[in-house]
Amino acid sequence: MQIEPRDTICPTCGGALGVVPVLHHMVCAYVGPQYDFIPADSGYLCPKCRRAIGPNDPACEIIGIAARCAHCGKEMVVSPPARAS
């Protein structure tokens, strides 16, 4: 399911949405929401390869935004903002 950036309520159950970045770990090609990555002292560990990802790590980039409902757990992609012409 895809939602607009202005949406704050889950279209499935009406619960509150939490918004997080979607990360791409270029070392192993893992792509997932930030909550998939394991918190560590230095930042995060990749859930696929278990390598450390520090702040401003050039091997990890934000490629989008995801949302998850705090009530029903439904996950959805947030549409990118419209470009100005």
Looking at the domain assignment, is residue 64 inside a domain?
yes
Domain that residue 7 falls in: 2-78
What's the predicted TM-score (pTM) here?
0.85
Alpha-carbon gap, residue 55 to 14, rounded angstroms? 34
Task: List per-residue pLDDT tens for the chain, 85 residues long.
Answer: 899 999 999 999 999 999 999 999 999 999 999 999 999 998 999 999 999 999 999 999 999 999 999 999 999 999 987 776 6
Looking at the domain assignment, is residue 84 inside a domain?
no
Alpha-carbon separation of residue 72 from 13, 18, 66 (angstroms):
7, 12, 15
Looking at the domain assignment, is residue 66 inside a domain?
yes
Looking at the domain assignment, is residue 83 inside a domain?
no
**Bridge pairing between strands 43-45 and 52-53:** antiparallel
Task: Give the number of domains in the chain.
Answer: 1
Alpha-carbon gap, residue 46 to 52, rounded angstroms? 7
Q: Give me the residue label for tokens 């989008």.
A: 64
